[in-house]
Each structure stands twice: as structure tokens, then as C-alpha cells.
Amino acid sequence: MNEGETRTTEEICVRRECEKCGKPATWQLTYLHKNARANPASHGYGRDDVSWCSDKDVFVCDEHEKERRNIGEELGMDWCSAFPYGERFKHLFLYWKKKGGEE
């Protein structure tokens, strides 16, 4: 390693997987802490429109979407929104991963 040297890393854009089966995710489900608008621990705190806020994201495939939409009680949270994979929301599903397995 020398001063002024440049290092280049290679990354690949990958799609998030279903948390239940590992298939490519087709839904992002979002959850908020209970009483989000009045709860300082929530990203929805003090907001009128909380539909774009999220305290917990869950990515699932079509097969598990209905089942996982109802896990709010299990998480101690309330269901907020569901975003389908598609041109408008694909940025929610994609992330950069370093080639070689590291995120």
C-alpha cells in the first residue's frame, strides 16, 4: 500500500430474497412500531402520512406474501405498506454486493 494508490472493487447488483424460501422477492412489506405517529422510537413519529415510513422491512415472494403480511403481532408492530417488485419500486429490492460474497 502506497500513498496516492487507487484501489478498485467490483460489485454486482442483486435482488433481495424471500426470507422464507430464498426465491427472488416480489414484495416488500413494511411495519411500524405500535402507535407510530406518537412513538419517538418510530420512523413515523410526528408524521401525518406514514405510508412511506418503515421500522422493519420484510422481503417475500408471492407464495409467502399473504402469510407474512400478518406477522405484525409476532414482531410487536403494525403492518404499514406493501410494495410489489416492478419498474416503479425495483430500487427497494436491489442492492450492491461485493463480488466474492461480502456485502
The residue segments making up the domain with residue 57 are 20-96
Q: DSSP readout, 32-94?
A: EETTGGG-TTSTTTT-S--TT--SEEEEE-HHHHHHHHT-HHHHTEEEEEEEESSTTTHHHHE
Q: Is residue 64 part of a domain?
A: yes
Q: Is residue 2 part of a domain?
A: no
Q: Report the number of distinct structural domains present in the chain.
A: 1
Task: Find the largest Cα–Cα distance for the chain.
Answer: 54
Q: Is residue 29 part of a domain?
A: yes
- pLDDT score, position 102: 52
Q: Is residue 36 part of a domain?
A: yes
Q: Is residue 5 part of a domain?
A: no
103 residues of the chain, pLDDT tens digit each:
999 999 899 999 999 999 999 999 999 999 999 989 999 999 999 988 998 899 999 999 999 998 888 888 888 899 999 999 999 999 999 999 998 755 5
Q: Is residue 3 part of a domain?
A: no
- pLDDT score, position 86: 95
What is the Cα–Cα distance from 8 to 74, expressed in whole angstroms? 43
Q: Is residue 89 part of a domain?
A: yes
Q: Is residue 46 part of a domain?
A: yes
The strand pair at 27-33 and 56-60 is best described as antiparallel
